[in-house]
Amino acid sequence: MTDEFDQLLATLETERRYFAKELHDGVAQTTLQLGLQAGICQRLLETGELDVLADELAQLEERIKRASRQVREMIGDMRPPIVESEATLDDFIRYAIDIHAQRGGPPVTYEFGWPDDMPDFSHTKIVTLVRIIQEALFNTRKHAQAQNVNLTFSVEDGALYIVIADDGQGFDVSELETVPGDEGGAGITNMRIRARALGGSLAISSGSTRSGTEIILTWAQ
């Protein structure tokens, strides 16, 4: 029990550092740019350069929209998926895919091949599973430069499988796993911890060329 509690605390701390980094690299940088650009606009107004001022104001408006979008997306990522109370696992996954598409992610081919008579997952387990998939899809948007993603649920030799594969640029898995959470390594660490919490295991294969990345989540029935 102590080991599980320590692991939970470590996960929470890792996620706090991860979001702190995302805020610093995203929202904080954008708002700094807003302040600098507002100063430029003030000087242009004082010198009467109204044509140039109009262009700067248009850019300022776009950056404000970007900052607002970044904040909304981070808040959305921290909330549990919003679906109907009687929603199935399939509904939750489709919701996650819809959010991914709304944020400009590559198209996802989705196949749900688990049997209808499979025992239902609890709400907590569903959310935990969706978090893994959300993290994988987030990585395809931010890092992979992928054109397509395949998400499949299948059963083979009595085991349940979820496979998330993209055709992106890939990365060195062993190298990223050694990176501290506040420097970008939190995603994989948290995915593995959540997989273990579900009673499963997570395997990641990728290459440094455009061979893509494949994430396999497995449970024994």
C-alpha torsion angle, residues 43, 46, 50, 51 (rounded to 10) = -30
Strand partners, 110: 151
The values of phi and psi at residue 109, to 5°, are -90, 120
CB 14 within 8 A of CB 189: yes
- pLDDT tens over the chain, length 221 residues: 456 556 655 666 666 666 666 666 677 777 788 888 888 888 888 898 888 888 888 888 888 887 777 777 766 666 666 666 677 888 889 989 998 998 889 999 999 988 877 767 788 888 888 889 988 998 888 888 889 999 999 988 888 999 999 988 887 776 666 555 445 556 787 888 888 888 899 999 887 666 789 999 998 86
Instruction: Return the structure tokens found at 25.
Output: 């690299």
CB 137 within 8 A of CB 130: no
CA distance 3 to 193: 12
pTM over 0.75: no
CB 114 within 8 A of CB 156: no
